[in-house]
Chain A
Amino acid sequence: LAERTNLAGVRHILLVLSGKGGVGKSTLSTELALALRDAGKRVGILDVDLCGPSIPRMLRVQDSAVHQCDSGWVPVFVGQDKAIALMSIGFLLERPDDAVVWRGPKKNALIKQFVTDVAWGDLDFLIVDTPPGTSDEHISTVEALRPYPLLGAILVTTPQ
């Protein structure tokens, strides 16, 4: 089963959440991934912020394209050592300024696909970066991840 296979090689899954926008979720997700990579871990990032995908630019791969293989989407591998794997809707946009103007049901379908249909391979950590709020993206992501080893959530805030 493709679903079983694609996340079977992932040891730990971490969600980065906030509720509030602009507090540094994507920044933290990126820095965490880079730090784990420097510590010799294999890391993946799943960017489920469909309206405002920031991770591709933060890792300087905003001009990359994604491809499909037999088991699903092939993530974009970052850096010379290819030690970070990234999937984001940013890669599916024809033009970076295209707005993804989707209602919840369409977003949910894509998130489910992202969670189950990306050929991550073996990862020590999969970091899931989320948009602000407590809505469709969050409900769907948690639901889709339920059968898998969810380590937990990191909550990001600012002082005010």
Chain B
Amino acid sequence: ECPGTDSAQAGRAAACQGCPNQGLCAAGAAGPDPAEAAELRARLRAVRHTVLVLSGKGGVGKSTFSALLAHGLAADETKQVALLDIDICGPSIPKMMGLEGEQVHQSGSGWSPVYVEENLGVMSVGFLLSSPDDAVIWRGPKKNGLIKQFLRDVDWGEVDYLIVDTPPGTSDEHLSIVQYLSATHIDGAVIVTTPQEVSLQDVRKEINFCRKVKLPIIGVVENMSGFVCPKCKNESQIFPPTTGGAEKMCQNLNVSLLGKVPLDPQIGKSCDRGQSFLAEAPESPATLSYRNIIQRIQEYCEQHHMQEEKTI
């Protein structure tokens, strides 16, 4: 059994023989060095809860969900929310948060996040590009470097919730964020999917990735789950769950299904316009679903925190 890519045994355990990753793990590409880890720990000390939004599959609504989770949590003005977009090739968060064209400022205490609201700060490579159409054509190591910089050099201040939006896949960005954040603490991952098997087969891989790197799974969100026609009110399955959808997958893999969100054309529109869908369409069934899911995530994080405080 794989000891885990960030374990001290990575690449060196008996089970590593013959694994295609063995060379890399053994070469110590496994984790930040202790000095770096200390630096990251110091920077992230004031972050109470960290939630990763993952998928494995592209285009299922990770960034959409991350943005709405951030808006939802920031609705409580007593909470400080931070949204970190580590999709370096396809950063969607600036546009979705209405922050296109914003630049990052440096101060004595580090890089300043771009604030949507007083209690909602955002960081993305999108802010570092001179033009939104500039392609960031970087290999893994350079991407990892930027992610580390985001965590080390951004002055987030005191944060109640740090939400990390990720690109599709199970590669450099995902390994790096888990390894760099191991210096602090990740409450867990929210995994986003759509109902069809072609998505689920990638999402199962992501669930296995989480288990391998010992990342707790808060639960799964099924997006694009049906469409209710606003005229005739009939429901259509635009992406039919031919193998039982997220519900069946969650049962089989013993993970929580946080909720299903139906398709609503207003979601895409709000994202394109940089507005919060929750605010623009408060009556939509999709808004209700999102709010329920956000609440469940909040409850998970708070419970987690209480358990930790008990053990101290």
Q: A98-B208, A104-B171, A138-B137 are in contact. Are A54 and B201 (CB under 8 A)?
A: yes
Kindly state the separation between the CA atoms of A108 and B138 in the bound complex, as whole angstroms: 13
Q: A103-B171, A107-B171, A131-B168 are in contact. Are A52 and B202 (CB under 8 A)?
A: yes
**Chain B proximity of A62: nearest CB distance (Å):** 8
Residues of chain B within 8 A of A160, CB atoms compared: 268-269, 271-272
**B101 sits at the interface (CB 8 A):** no
**Chain A proximity of B29: nearest CB distance (Å):** 6
**B244 sits at the interface (CB 8 A):** no
**A35 sits at the interface (CB 8 A):** no
Residues of chain A within 8 A of B198, CB atoms compared: 26, 54, 57-58
Among residues 92 to 140 in chain B, which have CB atoms less than 8 Å away from a CB atom of chain A?
135-140
Kindly state the separation between the CA atoms of A132 and B171 in the bound complex, as whole angstroms: 12
Query: Which of A23, A100, A106, A135 has a CB less than 8 Å from the CB of B59?
Result: A23
Residues of chain A within 8 A of B136, CB atoms compared: 134
**A37 sits at the interface (CB 8 A):** no
Q: A132-B90, A139-B137 are in contact. Are A101 and B5 (CB under 8 A)?
A: yes
Contact A51 B168 (CB under 8 A): yes
**B212 sits at the interface (CB 8 A):** yes
Contact A134 B89 (CB under 8 A): yes
Among residues 120 to 160 in chain A, which have CB atoms less than 8 Å away from a CB atom of chain B?
131-136, 138-139, 158, 160
**B188 sits at the interface (CB 8 A):** no
Interface segment among A3-11, A14-22, A78-86: the answer is A14-22
**B32 sits at the interface (CB 8 A):** no
**Chain B proximity of A96: nearest CB distance (Å):** 7
Residues of chain A within 8 A of B56, CB atoms compared: 51-52, 99
Kindly state the separation between the CA atoms of A106 and B171 in the bound complex, as whole angstroms: 10
Contact A102 B21 (CB under 8 A): yes
**B167 sits at the interface (CB 8 A):** yes
Q: Map CB proximity to B onto A62-105 as digits: 1 under 8 Å, 0 otherwise.
A: 00000000000000000000000000000000001111111111
**B153 sits at the interface (CB 8 A):** no
Residues of chain A within 8 A of B21, CB atoms compared: 101-102, 106
**B143 sits at the interface (CB 8 A):** yes
Contact B140 A98 (CB under 8 A): no
Q: Map CB proximity to A onto B10-43 as digits: 1 under 8 Å, 0 otherwise.
A: 0000000000110110000100000000000000
Query: Which of A96, A97, A104, A133 has a CB less than 8 Å from the CB of B167?
Result: A133
Kindly state the separation between the CA atoms of A16 and B170 in the bound complex, as whole angstroms: 21
Q: A52-B168, A133-B89, A135-B137 are in contact. Are A99 and B60 (CB under 8 A)?
A: no
For residue B20, which residue of chain A has the nearest CB?
A: A106
For residue A96, which residue of chain B has the nearest CB?
A: B201
Q: A104-B172, A136-B139 are in contact. Are A51 and B268 (CB under 8 A)?
A: no
Kindly state the separation between the CA atoms of A132 and B63 in the bound complex, as whole angstroms: 14
**Chain A proximity of B8: nearest CB distance (Å):** 18
Q: Map CB proximity to A onto B298-310 as digits: 1 under 8 Å, 0 otherwise.
A: 0000000000000
Contact B57 A22 (CB under 8 A): yes
**Chain B proximity of A55: nearest CB distance (Å):** 10
Contact B135 A134 (CB under 8 A): yes
Kindly state the separation between the CA atoms of A101 and B56 in the bound complex, as whole angstroms: 11
**Chain A proximity of B180: nearest CB distance (Å):** 14
Query: Which of B29, B197, B207 has a CB less than 8 Å from the CB of A103?
Result: B29
Contact A99 B206 (CB under 8 A): yes
Kindly state the separation between the CA atoms of A158 and B24 in the bound complex, as whole angstroms: 37
Contact B140 A51 (CB under 8 A): no
List of 9 A-B pairs having minimum Cβ-Cβ separation, nearest first: A21-B58, A22-B59, A104-B140, A51-B169, A133-B89, A99-B205, A52-B202, A99-B209, A97-B204
Chain A residues proximal to chain B, CB less than 8 Å: 19-23, 26, 50-52, 54, 57-58, 96-108, 131-136, 138-139, 158, 160
6 A–B contacts from the bound complex (CB under 8 Å): A22-B59, A97-B201, A106-B20, A106-B21, A132-B59, A139-B139
Beyond A22-B194, A99-B212, list 16 extra A-B contacts (CB 8 Å).
Answer: A22-B57, A22-B60, A51-B56, A51-B169, A51-B170, A97-B204, A97-B205, A101-B175, A101-B212, A104-B141, A106-B21, A135-B89, A135-B137, A136-B172, A138-B137, A160-B272
Chain B residues proximal to chain A, CB less than 8 Å: 5, 20-21, 23-24, 29, 56-60, 88-90, 135-141, 143, 167-172, 174-175, 194, 197-199, 201-202, 204-209, 212-213, 268-269, 271-272
